[in-house]
Amino acid sequence: MLTSIEKSIFSVAVLITLAIAGWITRRIIMTIARGRGKVDFRVVPKRLVGVLARVLAFQPVFRFRFWPSLFHAFVGWAFIYYLLVNLGDTLEGFFPNFEFPRVGLVGGIYRLIADFLSIAALFGMLALILRRFVVQPDNLAARPDIMLSPAARAGIRRDSAIVAGFILIHVGARFAGQSVEIAHSGAKDPWQPFASSASTLWLGMDAPILGILVHVFFWLALGTIMLFVPYFLYSKHLHLLFAPLNFLLKPERRSIGELDRLDFDDESIEQFGATRIEDLEWKLIMDAYACIMCYRCQEVCPAYNTGKVLSPAAMEINKRYFLNAEGRRLAQGDDSSQTLTEFAIPTEAVWACTACGACVDICPVGNEPMRDILEIRRSLVLMENEFPEQLQTAFRGMERSLNPWNISPAERLKWAEGLDVRTIDQNPDPEILWWVGCAPATDVRAQKTARAFAQILSAAGVNYAVLGTHEQCTGDSARRAGNEFLFNEMASANVELLNEVAPKRIVTTCPHCLHTIGKEYPAFGGSYQVIHHSQLINELLQQGKIRLKRALDSSITFHDPCYLGRQNEILLEPRQILSNFNSSFIEMPRHGRKSFCCGAGGGQMWKEEEDGVERVNASRFREAQATGAKTLAVGCPFCMIMLNDARKDSNSEMEVQDIAEIVLQSLDRPE
């Protein structure tokens, strides 16, 4: 029970803390509101329960780095429970007869959980301190060649030290206070086994001293909160607030890679893409406040892992430190003093991104660094006309020949010569429309996949048609390379054509086409059921429309294409097909949603890779080789080209084959 003077000091401290916190929070909200777009609160009711469950279970954290995640969860669970504990302790301190559940079963369970979580938090915190300050693993920092503000390089460790100190004092003092109260009462509390054990520390002390200690620990436990809160709003620990908000409020997206449509008809829009931080969508500004600076996104980034100067984590961290410094200015409505490429991410890094989405997928707080990068690309291309020269060839190909390979549209059906492939003009009402895609239609290696798939469809008697010379590029490469204007034209033309054809289903061998048509064309007025050829082949196998006659006498590993597995969650069907063979199937260490990019996405196919220590495709191929498998199965023409190039460069005997080619080899066909 607090004295009157203590109550007065405590009340004044609470009011001052709330006033400061309110003032800073208001500024943060106004800063976020400078971003493009508006929050759609209608999404909240349907997400609330799911987000609460995920946050309480710390589910997103556990997807990567199990042990640190567990220690972090110990601290987090205690932090959440301590919201209740702190309220209870404050009320008990103020009101003499108030007992926050102290008695009966409820009171016992309440104290038991508090006792366990206190120890778990202290243990977790000590383990995390050991990891950050003693072990210091490489994956908790960015390389020296990465653009990271000096304030951040020093600030992250300082932040961690301050917060660790706060948690140790706050939780430790509360736990110690409980143990003193037990010693004071003279009887052990069976509901607080740890605090009861610790109470022996105070044995033999006089009651007045124990009484003083209760007050000391009360102030250490609760008084530190008042000191901490204003600092907390500037530190990375603000994620406690913004991580749940990020999950709760993020705009609806059909997939993690779906980009927003830009309206080129609206003449009032002066800025396309993001040059400055305030040009970003509000959600991407909020990402900076949600970031826990854990470097998970960096650890999975193919560009960073092959030595490029791109770190999605460093970009988010730079944004956060910039907002700490310029928040007031932004909240007042002024322009920020530097462009994103000046303080957040260098231009070279912007062009090193493969748009693989791994950073978005792995981020435990729902951040989307890839989106910032693609927004910056849009601004560089559309506002500054500044992009790698080699991309110009692909853009020109898409503009003039409707494909980045710059092959004449008249030659688009050449790959099918000698096969029974009918066009939509010849078969206007097919059960399924095959969107062939530019790579299978024009690239010599990818054409083999198209030919194999055509033969499988014929063997299964599928009623299908292709668009033939009517088909043009979906525009995926243009969009990911920042040329939204070109994408806009291609998407609009394709949607017009597809709406005329009105396909029942669309199948494609290219995950980029699958993603663009299925997830991005709806914003252009085209909604279609689009499936990957591995899904259709699997369906045909299950329906008995095709059968396999012989087992492959080789071992297989499968490379999940980013736009198939991670971005469209098609993970099962390729594996189901490959499980039909008696060959041994070996997973690579990074597979499924955690697959590693082949290096072609994000427009990289059309340009040289930025300087680094290794090419992305070489790194991925090495991982495939290390499995010892004889065949590397793929499900994407871009992956096929990249991994086949890596195979040639390394003189490997491993075969790179599309799933369709593997199935065709074993197809049981009448002679």
Among residues 117, 156, 340, 363, the one that binds ligand SF4 under rule CB under 6 A: 363
- Helix 312-331 / helix 282-290 crossing angle, nearest 10 deg: 110
Q: Which residues, numbered 33-72, are part of the site for ligand SF4 (CB under 6 A)?
A: none
Q: C-beta of 618: minimal distance to ligand SF4 in Å?
A: 16
Burial of residue 646 (CB within 10 Å: 0-12, 13-18, 19+) is buried
Q: Which is nearer to ligand SF4, 300 or 421 (CB)?
A: 300
Smallest distance from ligand SF4 to CB 18, Å? 28
Task: Tell me the site size for ligand SF4, rule CB under 6 A.
Answer: 29
564 φ/ψ angles, rounded to the nearest 5 degrees: -100, -55
* Residue 88 lies near ligand SF4 (rule: CB under 6 A): no
- The closest of 483, 488, 476, 455 to 638, measured between CA atoms, is 476
DSSP classification of residue 259? P
Stretch that binds ligand SF4, among 178-186, 355-363, 528-536, 569-577 (CB under 6 A): 355-363
- Nearest approach, Cβ of 263 to ligand SF4 (angstroms)? 25
Q: H helices of 312-460, where?
A: 312-331, 340-343, 347-350, 358-362, 369-382, 389-400, 438-442, 444-460
Record the tokens describing residue 202, joined without a space.
Answer: 């105070």
Nearer residue to ligand SF4 within complex by CB, 90 or 567: 567
Q: Least distance to ligand SF4 from the beta carbon of 358, Å? A: 4
- Is 296 or 412 the residue whose CB approaches ligand SF4 more closely? 296
- The span of 134-142, 190-198, 288-296, 650-658 binding ligand SF4 (CB under 6 A) equals 288-296
Q: Which stretch binds ligand SF4 (CB under 6 A): 291-299, 376-384, 518-526, 579-587?
A: 291-299
Which amino acid makes up residue 74? F
Decide if residue 358 touches ligand SF4 (CB under 6 A).
Answer: yes
Does 147 contact ligand SF4 by CB under 6 A?
no
Amino acid letter for position 98: F
Q: Per-residue x/- marks for ligand SF4, 439-478, CB under 6 A? A: ----------------------------------------
The angle subtended at Cα 398 by Cα 396 and Cα 399, nearest 5°, is 65
- Longest pairwise C-alpha distance within the chain: 99
- 612 binding ligand SF4? (CB under 6 A): no
- DSSP label at residue 132: I
**Lookup: tokens for 565:** 């597995």
**Binding residues for ligand SF4 restricted to 292-331, rule: CB under 6 A:** 292-297, 300-303, 310, 312-313, 316
Pick between residue 115 and residue 372 the one whose CB is nearest to ligand SF4.
Answer: 372
How far, in Å, CA of 415 to CA of 446, rounded?
A: 10
Residue 53 has a CB neighbour count (10 Å cut-off) of: 10
Of 576, 445, 574, 424, the closest CA to residue 511 belongs to 574
What is the spatial distance between Cα 453 and Cα 534, in angstroms, rounded to a whole number?
A: 10
Minimum distance from CB of 399 to ligand SF4 (Å)? Answer: 26
Q: Write out the residues near ligand SF4 by the rule CB under 6 A.
A: 291-297, 300-303, 310, 312-313, 316, 353-359, 362-363, 365, 367, 369-370, 373
